[in-house]
Amino acid sequence: MNRELASGAMFRVEQQGAGVGLVIGVTLVIAAVGCVIRLFGFRAARAFVEHTPVVRKLDEASRRLMVGRVQVAIAWAQGFRLTPAMCLRRAVAAAVLLRLVDIPAVVVIGIQRLPFAAHAWTEVYGQVITEREGWVHDYQIIDSF
């Protein structure tokens, strides 16, 4: 699916397989995020995302590939179930990994009124990358960072 960038250009995620190293790395980041949340709470997870330093800049084609690779790696890591990958853990892990390479990922939190449910996901340029996009439309956004 295409989304508009701030410049008016379109952003298209390029789906590509994730290597074993990236899947293992994503699994470890999800576990680390779980520890941060358990030990220090939601505010610490939020700060973790908001203060992620950029360690490498990518060109536009590489950005599309990286988003696709992280998307696939998150799905694989979730399938392993080595740690309970709650939606918030997955969303924060994806956002941190993408922000490290200067991709403006946003963690979005939404609620559904009836039946009550809360959910978190990651978006890049408005495109949902940690869930099937149509699935999150049932949620009213209450926060993003």
How far apart CA 109 and CA 136 sit, in angstroms, is 10
Residue 116 CA neighbour count, 13 Å, CB half: 0
Domain boundaries, the chain: 2-103
pLDDT of 78 over the 90 cut? no
pLDDT of 3 over the 80 cut? no
DSSP symbols for 108-134: EEEEETTTTEEEEEEEETTEE-SS-GG
Strands (E), the chain: 2-4, 10-12, 105-112, 117-124, 127-128, 140-144
What tokens does 57 get?
Answer: 């800049």
pLDDT at 85: 59
Q: Compute the mean pLDDT over every residue in the chain, rounded to the nearest whole number.
A: 85
Contact 93, 30 (CB under 8 A): yes
Q: Could you tell me the pTM of the whole model?
A: 0.83
Confidence of residue 8 (pLDDT cuts 50, 70, 90): very low
pLDDT 10s digits, 124-145: 999 999 987 688 888 999 999 9
Pairing of strands 105-112, 127-128: unpaired
